[in-house]
Amino acid sequence: MSDGEVAVSDGEVAVIVNGQPRSVAPGTTVAALVRGLTPVPRGVAVAVDREVVPRSSWDEVVVGDGSNVEVVTAVSGG
């Protein structure tokens, strides 16, 4: 296994989340992935394979094998 690869158990898919390899269950939605990363999704934006996923679609968009997911959180302040 080379750098950047993740060991995937049977029945799981490999994805990249914020530049880090990880494995998720097949059928994992963007909403489920975000819930696993942050307890409060307020101010969170998500892109899958460089396409922004509207919050209204998070429950329908499935993260597929090899997907590159970026999850960002807006931070206020100076």
| Residue-level pLDDT at 78 | 62
Regarding the domain delimited by 13-73, which CATH topology (the fold level of the hierarchy) does it fall under? Ubiquitin-like (UB roll) (3.10.20)
Confidence class for position 1, pLDDT limits 50, 70, 90: very low
Q: In this predicted model, what pLDDT tens digit does every residue of 8-43 receive, in sequence order? A: 566 899 999 999 999 999 999 999 999 999 988 889
Q: In this predicted model, what pLDDT tens digit does every residue of 50-66 receive, in sequence order? A: 999 999 999 999 999 99
- How many CB atoms are located within 10 Å of the residue 35 CB? 13
Please state whether the predicted TM-score (pTM) of the whole model is above 0.75.
Answer: yes
- How many CB atoms are located within 10 Å of the residue 61 CB? 18
Cα end-to-end distance, the chain, whole Å: 42
Q: Shortest CA distance to 69 belongs to which of 21, 13, 1, 12?
A: 21
